[in-house]
Chain A
Amino acid sequence: MYALLVVVVLMLMLPFAWVLFGSFKSQGEFMANPGAWLPESFAFVQNYVVLFTEKGFGPFLVNSLIVSAAAVAGNLVFSSMAGYALAKLKFRGSKIIFIAVVGAMTVPYVAIFVPQFLVIVQMGLVDTLTAIILPVLIMPIAVFIMRQFALGVPDELLEAARIEGAGEFRIFFRIFLPLVGPALATVGILTFMYSWNYFLWPLIVAQSSSVYTLPVGLAVASQTANTTAFGVLLAGAMVVLLPVLIVFLFLQRYFIQGVATTGLK
């Protein structure tokens, strides 16, 4: 039984092996021995160098960092506010808003990306990082997660603070937020991963390469490149993969728990 597990896991890990090894191969190696798995030398870092010097991945990296930082910050603040309000504050329309949030999670992206683009055009924000950031500033799934966790916070704590005269914002920041640390961690990780891997919308919005994020840069490079020149592309893939990989390896517990609990609810 464990043998089966090991075999399956090995097979799942194969693509990572391919990209790791392939990113260290020179063009000559690809031509001469295309089927080889291992590179001749792990010291061959030219592909990575080319990425940043010729392919302009430096700015792409910066753009991706900006987008992800903004998305994480935005969600940690605004999504938690919204989730808290939807769970703990009784106000007219909260039911409808929650339904809209759930609906937004199920709508296929292909249906709305076109009008979404038209909206951005009307706002005059085409080809800006702002346009890339705005739709992910508050993610429905983040609001959903925060709401679920907020429901678990005892009302008495909040009521006690209200009776003492604390305003809602104070209650939110001083009492609620400290209580939902794991949820915030989950939201932060989820948002980081989603915004970092985000590719379709940035691809549509960006018209000039100065606004490309990493996935867009890689997508454009792979669509236009001569597809036998894989070394640089695979190096690009590694650069895109690594940050998320690292974050995941350290924080997987929160992430996986978050996925499981929200899914089941």
Chain B
Amino acid sequence: MASLDTRVGGPVTRRSSAPPASAVTSSGSQRPVSPRGQKRLSFSHNRIGWIFVAPLVIILSLFTVLPAVIALAMSFTDIGAADLRDPFAVNFTAFDTFIQVLTDQTFLRALFNTTLFVVISVPLTVGIAFVLALILNNGIRRLKSFFRAAIYLPVITNIVAAAVIWQYAFTVTGPVNAGLETLSIHGPNWLGDPVWAVPTVAALGIWRNIGTCMIFFLAGLQGIPEEVEEAASMDGAGYWGRVLHMTIPLLRPTTLLVMILMTVSFLNIFDEPYLVTHGGPLGSTQSLALWVYEQFGYGNIAPSMAGSFILLALVGIIAAVQFRVLRPKH
């Protein structure tokens, strides 16, 4: 190895002189290499690199980048369903469509609903997940993985199946109300009452997301060195005192991640309201994403696209704000 090094001249040159044989073939044929040929240029890495990522680039460009660009372009026009035959014949309307959307009653209602979803769901999801992670972290080793799996189960549950279960469980005469009856509580019309539909749909979102948050908190908790914990308990602080003043501040990066993830998730909420209540009753559960979808259904393509970019901007802004506020102070 040593003689090879001196001939090649050190690690830097060595790295940039990837197998000369493949410089010629560029697809990794296994021709033996003569030591002298190792001073070739590094363009072989370029070619092989691109071959490796070619499938990714194709799929990504076709199905993500291109559609995103098209969507953006569409939102600056007044394109409608009828125009799809001849898309380039539409008018360029600059920001008119955006303004039209921002002053639309149904859009504003969807904005209100989505805000409601986020405000209800994010604190509950994150809070419950945090408490569960705490308990699990101090819990019995053997049962820990059982509970962890059980709590994570809702995350991998198919949303359509979950929505069907929700529709069944929360009908006026379904199991939920039946269970409440045994406690002498007369349950409301969860799915049919505009007031109760929102928490019911939110509950589905919360149920499905607690697991993810808990996993992150568990990982974060495991990152806290034991010496820190011991030091705190020797200080005589009570358990909850410790949690409040030591654990929570130490978990700041994890909390930041979880909060942003959940906020973005619930801002984009679509599956739950679509499948459980279809945006009803009376538009009370129509989220912004659902609004975008329905607008497209009505043939209002340009407003739909504009709305989706407004949503994107909203998500970006809120995520950025959260990042600022919750950023770990080092």
Instruction: Give the interface of A toward B (CB within 8 A).
Output: 1-2, 4-5, 8-9, 12-16, 18-19, 22, 34-37, 78-79, 81-82, 84-86, 89-94, 97, 100-101, 104, 106-116, 118-119, 134-135, 137-138, 140, 143, 159, 162-172, 193, 196-197, 199-200, 214-216, 218-219, 222-223, 227-228, 230, 233-234, 236-238, 240-241, 244-245, 248-249, 252-253, 256, 259-261, 263-264
Contact = CB atoms under 8 A, between A and B. Distances in A.
Contacts of B250: none
5 contacts: A15-B166, A84-B52, A89-B48, A90-B15, A230-B167
Given A167-B19, A233-B164, 19 more contacts: A4-B131, A15-B154, A19-B161, A19-B165, A34-B173, A36-B175, A89-B48, A91-B45, A97-B57, A115-B68, A116-B67, A162-B19, A164-B33, A165-B19, A168-B48, A216-B160, A227-B171, A252-B149, A256-B149
A151 to B, nearest CB: 15
B210 interface: yes
Contacts of A135: 59, 63
Given A37-B178, A134-B63, A260-B216, A110 B289 contact: yes
Contacts of B93: none
Given A97-B56, A140-B60, A165-B31, A233 B168 contact: yes
Contacts of A1: 135, 138
A193 B296 CA distance: 28
A182 to B, nearest CB: 16
Contacts of A197: 156-160
B231 interface: no
A18 B42 contact: no
Interface in B149-201: 149-154, 156-169, 171, 173-175, 177-179, 181
Nearest to A21: B175
Contact of A143 (B56, B139, B179): B56
A93 B132 CA distance: 43
Nearest to B261: A263
B50 interface: yes
Contacts of B95: none
Interface stretch (B100-108, B115-123, B263-271, B321-329): B263-271
Nearest to A11: B207
A216 to B, nearest CB: 8
A54 B131 CA distance: 46
B67 A252 contact: no
B254 interface: yes
B327 to A, nearest CB: 16
Contacts, number: 313
Given A165-B31, A199-B271, A260-B218, A159 B149 contact: no
B128 to A, nearest CB: 7
A30 B220 CA distance: 46
B60 A138 contact: yes
Query: Interface centre among A114, A118, A230, A234, by most B CB within 10 Å?
Result: A114
Contacts of A143: 56
User: Which 8 A-B pairs have CB atoms at the shortest separation, nearest pair first?
Assistant: A167-B28, A35-B178, A91-B49, A85-B52, A115-B67, A237-B161, A169-B28, A111-B308
B305 A114 contact: yes
B90 to A, nearest CB: 14
B209 to A, nearest CB: 11
B71 A111 contact: yes
A263 B50 CA distance: 27
A142 to B, nearest CB: 10
Contacts of A168: 18-19, 22, 27-28, 48, 52
Given A137-B59, A170-B28, A240 B207 contact: no
Interface string B15-36: 1001101100101111111000
Contact of A118 (B84, B292, B311): B84
Query: Interface centre among B27, B145, B168, by most A CB within 10 Å?
Result: B168
A162 B18 contact: yes
Interface string B56-90: 11011011111110110010000000001000000
Given A16-B153, A91-B50, A114-B296, A5 B64 contact: no
Nearest to B314: A108
Given A116-B67, A227-B167, A166 B216 contact: no
Contact of A167 (B30, B150, B261): B30
B293 interface: yes
Interface string B203-230: 0000100101001101110000000000
B236 interface: no
B171 A94 contact: no
Contacts of B14: 159, 163
Contact of B153 (A100, A140, A230, A245): A245
